[in-house]
């Protein structure tokens, strides 16, 4: 790279003068004007809610939003949550949901990106079709799949009966044992295109010469993938998996619309459970305590996310 | 002598066969993924042109005996109440998404530019703070925002949605755009400034046009995000004439649970604007992800 980018300029400036933080802030006050609108919006809609959630989590709240009548109860909300059976059930569901959706979406997306990497007739059209599920609304997706899974008139049930694999259409989303996997299939349907786009973008950065050199040296297709392509994609993969994991951990619409968490909590994940506690049963204090716990888990994930991102920056700096 | 000469081509052809094996595996895999992706969408379309009676049959009619556009006519007819509702929801979604998109571009462009070019104290901290927003689920913010919106008097207004959507569109928008600005040589601006342009003029005349693909990608992302958003709209809006499409459709069909052709037609029409928008502009989007996210 011979081009001096803004970052290089920034680094140079950083090195030139390191004394007097206040003076530096003063010097750069005009720069803050550019980020101020973004920061202001974020503060109103993020900092305040976080503060308020933490506060509420230590209070017993009456139903309804008469929050003036709340009473301080310390950590009671937290102990109540951690000792309840539902909590562990929901946590287990969330774990399966997040890990299952993330890993399968990533593997399918990555494989699709690899299969689409070589040019062939109709590749553009195929790619466009494969991306569509990611673009359409999750509400629409939920209804489409709810209809597909329908216990009387669903297409999958009918196909299974037609092929002689089942006597009568199975109950996909009304049965405790199949509901979570069935919802994960819907979620993957919506999410693998994202992994696909990210990995397609990543594949373009793998140097063609290296692959050809490896081929000349007699490396098999698998060896070329494992020793040349894959190491180049490590950073993209990390970022993609983290983004998918966070999105899945936070998903709400698919379980909420398709099952509402039922039957008997079998498809409740953290977010739907919190929503039901807050807006269904109006237990604001407990819901807030749940949110704080969630927040702590996400901060841990966020730490890795930032590390993965800044790892990329470091690499770029040294190159 | 002759054996070594024979082994070489045999080894080669075996390798070629193995390569062909991978290629065939790839093709079969693509067909499988195409079926997985397309069958649900095709079934949505087929169901949407059935009558209510034809949809409720077992075994299902794979292709309707009497295809009909009745569901679409009903949804788009401003004369009857269903059509009125649907068109109003459609308009509400369009309004909220468009305003959100315009505002997020206006806010994200200068922020991304500053994060890329300037080195003010706290720059990295602020940048990651903005990115971290993506980490947190809507639900964490829901209760306090619900109370905040009541405080601000924004309950049951589209303002509450626009304000909230702005914040979850911004992080990715800023991130994508920053990648673009990082790739635009500073010398271009410097040259303009030597020629007498102010920093602002250099920004508007040189940097903005070069980052158009990034801005388009950002705009698509915000628009699609706002168009599809459900949980805030579901919580902040209660009046029927304010609802956006995802919530409106859900409310409507929780009352008419068996009208699957209507539901599929509505799902289809809800998807058309974003899918068309995305397909027309996907080039920019993929490029922006490549430059913004991956090369970072």
Q: What is the pLDDT along chain B (296 residues), one digit of tens a residue?
A: 444 444 444 555 555 566 677 788 888 999 999 999 999 999 999 999 988 777 777 777 788 888 888 889 888 888 888 888 889 999 999 999 999 999 989 888 888 888 888 777 777 776 666 666 666 667 777 777 887 788 888 888 898 899 888 877 787 788 778 878 887 888 888 888 888 888 788 888 888 888 888 888 888 888 988 998 998 898 888 888 889 999 988 887 777 777 888 899 999 999 999 999 888 888 777 777 666 555 54
Is residue B121 in some structural domain?
Answer: yes
Tell me which residue range forms the domain holding B148: 70-294
B79 and B183 housed in the same domain: yes
A4 band by pLDDT with thresholds 50, 70 and 90: very low
Q: Do B121 and A28 touch (CB under 8 A)?
A: yes
Instruction: Please give the residue of chain B at the shortest CA–CA distance from A276.
Output: B139
Torsion, Cα B181 B185 B186 B187, to 10 degrees, reads: -160
Residue A315, CA distances (Å) to A18, B185, B206, B244, B292 in order: 24, 20, 29, 44, 15
Residue B62 lies in a domain: no
For residue B33, being part of any structural domain is answered with: yes
Question: Can you tell me the distance from the alpha carbon of A131 to that of A153, in angstroms, rounded to the nearest whole number?
Answer: 28
Q: Is residue B230 domain-shared with residue B130, that is, in the same domain?
A: yes
Residue spans of alpha helices (H) in B184-230: 186-194, 199-202, 208-210, 212-228
Residue of B nearest to A154 (CA): B60
Same structural domain, B146 and B233: yes
Q: Are residues B76 and B36 in the same domain?
A: no
> Of B133, B158, B151, which is closest to residue B236 (Cα–Cα)?
B158
Residue B61, domain member (yes or no): no
Cα separation, A215 vs A268, whole angstroms: 50
ipTM for the whole complex: 0.83
Distance CA B123, CA A131 (A): 35
Q: Contacts of residue B224 in chain A, CB cutoff 8 Å?
A: 135
Determine contact, residues B172/A85, Cβ cutoff 8 Å: no
Does one domain contain both B120 and B17? no
CA distance A108 to B65: 37
Would you state the pLDDT for residue B41?
Answer: 94
Rounded to 5 degrees, φ, ψ at A23 are -60, -40
**DSSP at A311:** H
Q: For B108, name the nearest residue in chain A, comparing CA atoms only.
A: A38
Which CATH number is B124's domain given?
Answer: 1.10.3720.10
pLDDT tens profile A206-227: 888 888 888 888 888 888 888 8
Residue B245 lies in a domain: yes
Contact between A38 and B263 using a beta-carbon 8 Å cutoff: no
Instruction: Assess whether B25 and B126 both reside in one domain.
Output: no
- Does residue B14 sit at the A interface (CB-CB below 8 Å)? no
Q: Is B294 on the interface with A (CB under 8 A)?
A: yes
Q: Are residues B24 and B125 in the same domain?
A: no
Where do the domains of chain A lie? Answer: 30-122+189-318
Chain B contact set for A114 (CB, 8 A): 26
CB neighbours of B180 closer than 8 A, spacing ≥ 6? B112, B210, B211, B213, B214, B288, B291, B292
Write the DSSP assignment of B33-78 as a string of letters. HHHHHHHHHHHHHHHHTS-HHHHS-SS--SS-SS---HHHHHHH-T
Of B144, B181, B246, the CB nearest to A49: B144
Per-position DSSP letters for A173-195, written without gaps between them: SSSTTTHHHHHHHHHHHHHHHHH
CA distances from A215 to A47, A205, A211, A212, A229 (A): 54, 18, 6, 5, 12
Total tally of structural domains belonging to chain B: 2
Chain A interface includes B272 (CB < 8 A)? no
DSSP-based three-state secondary structure for B124: helix
pLDDT computed for residue A236 by the predictor: 83
Q: Which residues of B touch A158 (CB under 8 A)?
A: 58-60
* Whether pLDDT at A316 is above 60: no
Tell me, yes or no, whether B39 and B181 share the same domain: no
CA A81 to chain centre: 24
Closest chain B residue to A50 measured between Cα atoms? B141
Do B223 and B277 touch, CB atoms closer than 8 A? yes
For the record, the structure tokens of B45 come out as 């379309």
Q: What's the CA gap between A163 and A280, in Å, rounded? A: 42
Map tokens 């983004």 to a residue.
A243
Residues B214 and B158 in one domain: yes
The answer on B18 and B88 residing in a single domain is: no
pLDDT for A282 equals 81
For residue range A111-142, list pLDDT tens digits in order.
Answer: 999 999 888 888 889 998 999 999 999 999 99
If asked whether residues B117 and B18 sit together in one domain, one would say no
User: What is the separation, in whole angstroms, between the first and last Cα of chain A?
Assistant: 9
User: Based on the domain organization, do B22 and B138 belong to the same domain?
Assistant: no
Cβ–Cβ below 8 Å for B142 and A189: no
Q: Cβ–Cβ of B246/A139 closer than 8 Å? A: yes
CATH label, A30-122+189-318, candidates 3.20.20.70, 3.30.70.120, 3.40.630.10, 1.10.3720.10: 1.10.3720.10
């Amino acid at each position: 790279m011979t081009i001096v980018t803004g970052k290089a300029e920034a680094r140079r400036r950083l090195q030139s003068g390191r004394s007097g933080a206040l003076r530096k802030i003063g010097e750069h006050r005009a720069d803050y004007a550019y980020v101020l609108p973004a920061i202001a919006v974020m503060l109103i809609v993020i900092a305040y809610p976080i503060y308020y959630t933490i506060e509420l989590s230590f209070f017993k709240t009456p139903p309804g939003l008469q929050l003036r009548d709340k009473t301080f109860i310390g950590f009671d909300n937290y102990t109540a949550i951690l000792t309840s059976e539902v909590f562990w059930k929901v946590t287990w569901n969330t774990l399966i949901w997040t890990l299952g959706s993330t890993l399968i979406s990533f593997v399918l997306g990555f494989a699709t990106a690899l299969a689409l990497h070589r040019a062939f007739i109709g590749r553009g059209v195929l790619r466009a079709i494969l991306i569509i599920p990611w673009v359409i609304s999750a509400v629409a997706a939920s209804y489409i799949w709810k209809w597909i899974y329908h216990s009387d008139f669903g297409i999958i049930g009918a196909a299974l009966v037609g092929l002689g694999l089942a006597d009568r259409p199975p109950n996909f989303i009304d049965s405790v044992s199949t509901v979570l996997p069935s919802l994960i299939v819907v979620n993957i349907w919506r999410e693998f295109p994202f992994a696909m786009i990210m990995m397609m973008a990543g594949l373009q950065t793998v140097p063609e010469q290296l692959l050809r050199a490896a081929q000349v040296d007699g490396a098999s297709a698998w060896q070329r993938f494992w020793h040349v392509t894959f190491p180049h994609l490590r950073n993209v993969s990390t970022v993609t998996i983290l983004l998918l994991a966070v999105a899945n951990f936070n998903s709400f619409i698919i379980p909420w619309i398709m099952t509402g968490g039922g039957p008997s909590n079998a498809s409740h994940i953290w977010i739907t459970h919190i929503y039901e506690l807050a807006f269904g049963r109006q237990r604001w204090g407990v819901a807030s305590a749940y949110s704080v716990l969630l927040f702590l888990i996400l901060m841990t994930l966020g730490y890795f996310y930032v590390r993965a991102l800044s790892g990329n920056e470091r690499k770029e700096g040294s190159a | 002598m002759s054996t070594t000469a024979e082994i070489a081509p045999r080894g080669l052809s075996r390798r070629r066969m193995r390569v062909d094996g991978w290629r065939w595996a790839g093709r079969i895999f693509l067909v499988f993924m195409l079926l997985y992706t397309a069958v649900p969408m095709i079934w949505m379309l087929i169901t949407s042109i059935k009558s209510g009676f034809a949809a409720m049959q077992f075994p299902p009619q794979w292709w309707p005996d009497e295809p009909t556009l009745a569901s679409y006519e009903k949804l788009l007819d401003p004369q009857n109440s269903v059509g009125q509702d649907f068109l109003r929801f459609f308009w509400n979604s369009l309004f909220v998404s468009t305003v959100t998109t315009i505002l997020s571009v206006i806010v994200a462009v200068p922020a991304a530019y500053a994060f890329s070019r300037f080195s003010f104290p706290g720059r990295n901290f602020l940048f990651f703070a903005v990115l971290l927003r993506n980490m947190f689920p809507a639900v964490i913010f829901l209760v306090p925002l619900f109370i905040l919106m009541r405080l601000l008097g924004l309950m049951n207004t589209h303002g509450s949605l626009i304000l909230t959507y702005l914040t979850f569109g911004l992080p990715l928008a800023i991130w994508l755009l920053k990648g673009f600005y990082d790739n635009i040589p500073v010398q271009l601006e410097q040259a303009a400034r030597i020629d007498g342009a102010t920093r602002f003029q250099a920004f508007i005349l040189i940097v903005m046009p070069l980052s158009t693909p990034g801005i388009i990608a950002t705009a698509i992302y915000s628009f699609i995000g706002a168009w599809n958003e459900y949980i805030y709209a579901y919580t902040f809006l209660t009046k029927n004439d304010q609802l956006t499409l995802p919530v409106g459709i859900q409310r409507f069909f929780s009352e008419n649970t068996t009208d699957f052709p209507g539901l599929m037609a509505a799902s289809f029409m809800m998807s058309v604007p974003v899918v068309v928008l995305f397909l027309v502009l996907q080039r920019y989007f993929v490029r922006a992800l490549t430059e913004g996210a991956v090369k970072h």
